[in-house]
Structure 1
Amino acid sequence: MSDGNTPNITILYEDNHLLGIVKPVNIPTQEDATGDPDLLTLLKQDIKERYNKPGNVYVGLVHRLDRPVGGAMIFAKTSKAASRLSESVRTRQFTKKYLAVVHGHPKQRQGRLTHTLLKDVRTNTVSVVPKGTDGGKEAILDYEVIGHTDKFSLVQIELHTGRPHQIRVQMKEIGCPLYGDQKYGPHLNKPGQQIALWSIVVGFPHPITKEEVIITSLPPRQFPWNEWPERIYEQIRA
Structure 2
Amino acid sequence: MKKKPPFSVVYEDNHLLIVNKTAGVLVQGDKTGDKTLTDYCKDYIAKKYDKPGAVFLHPVHRLDRPVSGLVAFARTSKGLERMMELFRKRDIHKVYWAVVKRKPKEKSGKLTHWLVKDEQRNVVTAHDHEVPGSQKAELNYKTLGFMNDHWLLEVRPISGRPHQIRVQLSSMGCPIRGDLKYGFAKPNPDASINLHAFHLVFVHPVKKEKMYLRAALPEEEFWEQFLQYESVKAKDQHLDNTFSG
Scaled by the length of structure 2, what TM-score is found? 0.89
Coordinate RMSD, CA, aligned: 1.9
The residue type paired with residue 147 of structure 1 is G
How many residue pairs match? The answer is 233
Q: How much has 1:130 moved relative to structure 2? A: 4.8
Asked if 1:190 is matched to 2:195, the reply is no
- The residue that corresponds to 2:243 in the other structure is none
Distance 1:221 1:233, change over 3 A: farther
Pairwise mapping of residues 1-238 of structure 1 onto structure 2 (< 5 A)? 7-149=5-147, 151-186=149-184, 188-190=185-187, 192=189, 193-228=191-226, 230-238=227-235
CA displacement 1:14-66 (0-9 Å, x = unmatched): 11101111111101001111111100111111111111112211112111100
Scaled by the length of structure 1, what TM-score is found? 0.91
Q: How much has 1:209 moved relative to structure 2? A: 1.6
Q: How much has 1:218 moved relative to structure 2? A: 2.6
Q: How much has 1:6 moved relative to structure 2? A: 8.4
Distance 1:55 1:145, change over 3 A: same
Residue pair 1:168, 1:178 contacting (<8 A) in 2 also: yes
Q: How much has 1:129 moved relative to structure 2? A: 2.5
The residue type paired with residue 189 of structure 1 is K
Distance 1:5 1:176, change over 3 A: closer
CA distance in structure 1 between the aligned counterparts of 2:104 and 2:37, rounded to whole angstroms:
34
CA distance in structure 2 between the aligned counterparts of 1:78 and 1:174, rounded to whole angstroms:
40
Structure 1 residue runs without a partner (length 5+): none
Q: How much has 1:7 moved relative to structure 2? A: 2.4
Q: How much has 1:231 moved relative to structure 2? A: 2.9
Instruction: Give the match's secondary structure for 2:180.
Output: coil
Q: Percent identity?
A: 38
CA distance in structure 1 between the aligned counterparts of 2:48 and 2:92, rounded to whole angstroms:
29
Structure 2 residue runs without a partner (length 5+): 236-245
CA displacement 1:92-127 (0-9 Å, x = unmatched): 111111000012100110011110000000110000
Residue pair 1:95, 1:204 contacting (<8 A) in 2 also: yes
Following TM superposition, where does structure 1 have runs of at least 4 consecutive aligned residues deviating by more than 4 angstroms? none
Q: How much has 1:221 moved relative to structure 2? A: 4.9
CA distance in structure 1 between the aligned counterparts of 2:135 and 2:155, rounded to whole angstroms:
19
Instruction: Give the match's secondary structure for 1:153.
Output: strand
Q: How much has 1:128 moved relative to structure 2? A: 1.1
Residue pair 1:97, 1:202 contacting (<8 A) in 2 also: yes
Residue pair 1:218, 1:233 contacting (<8 A) in 2 also: no
Distance 1:221 1:54, change over 3 A: closer
